[in-house]
Amino acid sequence: MADTLGFIGLGNMGEPIAANLLQAGYTLRVYNRTASKAEKLAAKGATVVQNSADVAAPGGIVLTMLADDHAIEQVCLPPGSFVEKLGPGGIHISISTIAPATARRLAEHHAMHKVEYVASPVFGRPEAAAAKHLWVCASGAAPARKRVQPILSAIGQGTFEFGDDPGAANVVKLCGNFLIASAIEALSESFTLAEKNGVNKKDVAELFGKTLFACPVYQGYGNQISEENFEPAGFRLALGLKDISLALDTAAASSVPMPLASLLRDRWLTAIAKGRENMDWTAVALGVAEDAGLKPAAANANEGKMSAR
């Protein structure tokens, strides 16, 4: 491969994405704040570095998959960062879900070092990342998007492009996560209604997943909620609250009322207040059931963990 790739952030999503790049034939330099998370990739041939700036080669490409806006700013903005090391001709592919406004600020910062910024958030959970079944959104300067397309093709099943605005792909990502969160709430309410009236929620999930709502979100999350399969988390509940809040912030900045998003924020915030921040974001279903006077087994298990702390 002609390009030298660096990769920062090896969490639930970053590690399988980086592994697929190795499988595609790219040579990787990888960094993660918790170094032990890089061990699997090192065994597959990645070079593990001790500083985030060291993943970059002049004029090369670096991918980041980080939890939030603060985390990405920490590795991009300080003096001596990988952005400065990339320099003219370099490209930063940000896979993180962050605010569109943050993406635009980062693009301006990168431009001062003649580095291109391409926003490439993805849809899909860790198992989809491992199987290269991610859907990729991309925005940024057209020549940079063209150069990184082979890389994006190596990590997903398709890329949708949204123009030159570096914040556009993140707008789309927030729209998508809002829709998923809305589906989780709707599934939770419908399954609770069924259960409270003596109907097995697994049977309801099977019906709708095979008929009216035969799509990945309703099938995957429907099964997860009906089976109360909330741990280990594929996507932590705390990160779900972050994304809903980012959607509301973006809506406020563009004068778009989103009353349903406000409801979702409160539902997620209540779940975090109950100590569920590290459970899967589908665990908000526990709160829906509790509001109806039910006591799910998964809620009892979580209470036990809380009392043991």
Of the listed 85, 173, 201, 242, which one is catalytic?
173
Whole-angstrom Cα distance, residue 5 to residue 118?
14
Whole-angstrom Cα distance, residue 300 to residue 306?
10
Active site residue 173: yes
For residue 14, which of 57, 54, 67 has the smallest C-alpha distance? 67
Residue with tokens 């896979």: 95
Dihedral angle of Cα 304, 234, 199, 266, to the nearest 10 degrees: 70
**Three-class DSSP category at 10:** coil
* Paired residues of 28 in beta bridges: 5
Contact criterion met (CB below 8 Å) for 184 and 237:
no
For residue 286, which of 198, 227, 240 has the smallest C-alpha distance? 227
Q: Is the dihedral of CA 42, 8, 24, 132 positive or negative?
A: positive
DSSP, res 113: T
Residue with tokens 């291109």: 116
Residues with catalytic function = 173
